[in-house]
Amino acid sequence: MESLKLTAYKDGKYESREGETLSLPIVIQRMELGGKIVYNRDKQLGSIGGVANFEQYEPKTLLLEFVIDCTGVVEGTRKGDKAHDRIKAIERKLYDYNSDAHRPAFVAVCYAELLFKGQLTSMKVDYTLFSTKGIPLRATVELAFKGYMCSEEERKRYAKQSPDMSRLITVKEGETLAYLCHKLYGDSLLVRQVARFNRLDGFRNIPAGTQLLFPPLKKE
């Protein structure tokens, strides 16, 4: 039987581990992977459709629904195991606030061939079977995650996936985002779209040495 492996990290580069990997024997019920592309629809007066300009990719999502069964019928469980103990272990790994990182953990989720890196967004537990003493023996768990990549990894990945369409530029001393947009696109007014794509707080006073990914955009 495949086990669900949860590894917590203090940082978004997934370098500083928080404790050991939690391995859980589970019965998988449902797995959903999702993604979303955001377009900025610029409508002109009198037009029906308007122009859909690419704006950004939304983080990917993962939904896992599985059963924790401590009745002894599932491989990997032992006599005396309690569903509640395993739920608490998941909470400590994914949900609890980390005082060193000042936030809940970043997490790598591994199941069979799936590897997903992100953050827990919601957790739901439904206890469905109890012992005669009221001890939880079986629970259905639903975990929802939102994908996360640090800015450095995100820029490298997009640049590698679409080298003919996107350009990774290092800002030089004296260069502005408006200048680079004019140089690459022929339109300095695309600064806001490029800033949003790179998740910048603004487009002025960008320090020299900053790496920016310029996606495929067209002059209006």
163 and 105, same structural domain? Answer: no
Residue of 110, 107, 25, 105 whose CA lies nearest to 73: 25
**pLDDT given for residue 168 in this prediction:** 80
pLDDT of residue 169: 85
Domain match, 76 and 35 both? yes
Give the residue ranges of the chain where pLDDT is below 70.
Answer: 1, 41-55, 150-166, 218-220
The DSSP call for residue 103 is B
The answer to whether 23 touches 76, Cβ cutoff 8 Å, is no
Same domain (yes/no): 91, 181: no
DSSP H helical ranges for 77-199: 83-90, 151-161, 177-185, 191-197
Position 220 in a domain: no
Tens digits of residue pLDDT in 159-215: 554 444 567 888 998 899 999 988 888 888 888 888 888 888 888 888 888 888 888
Counting the structural domains of the chain, the total is: 2
Query: Do 38 and 134 have their domain in common?
Result: yes
The residue range of the domain holding 187 is 151-214
Of 109, 131, 147, the one marking the end of a domain is 147
| pTM > 0.75 | no
Identify whether 170 is part of a domain.
yes
Point out which residues pair with 11 in neighbouring strands: none
Give the start-end residues of each E strand in 70-134: 106-111, 114-130
- Give me the pLDDT at residue 146, please: 94
Q: What share of the chain is helix, strand, coil (3-state, %, to 5)?
A: 20, 40, 40
Neighbours of 73 (CB within 10 A): 9
Answer yes or no: do 128 and 162 share one domain: no
Residues 186-196: b if buried by 16+ CB within 10 A, e if exposed = eeeebbebbbe
Determine, yes or no, domain membership for 101: yes
Residues 7 and 114 both lie in one domain: yes
The CATH number given to whatever domain includes residue 193 is 3.10.350.10
Tokens read off for 35: 């993604």
Choose among 116, 114, 138: nearest CA to 125: 138
Residues 59 and 167 in one domain: no
User: Does 202 lie in the same domain as 135?
Assistant: no
Domain end, chosen from 147, 177, 194, is at 147
Q: Tokens for 112, please give them.
A: 């069979």
Domain for residue 107, yes or no? yes
Q: Does residue 15 form part of some domain? A: yes
Q: Which of 97, 122, 147 is the last residue of a domain?
A: 147
pLDDT (0 to 100) of residue 26: 92
Question: Same domain for 137 and 189?
Answer: no
> In this predicted structure, what is the pLDDT of residue 81?
81
Helix (H, G, I), strand (E, B) or coil at 215: coil
pLDDT of residue 58: 84
pLDDT at position 50: 59
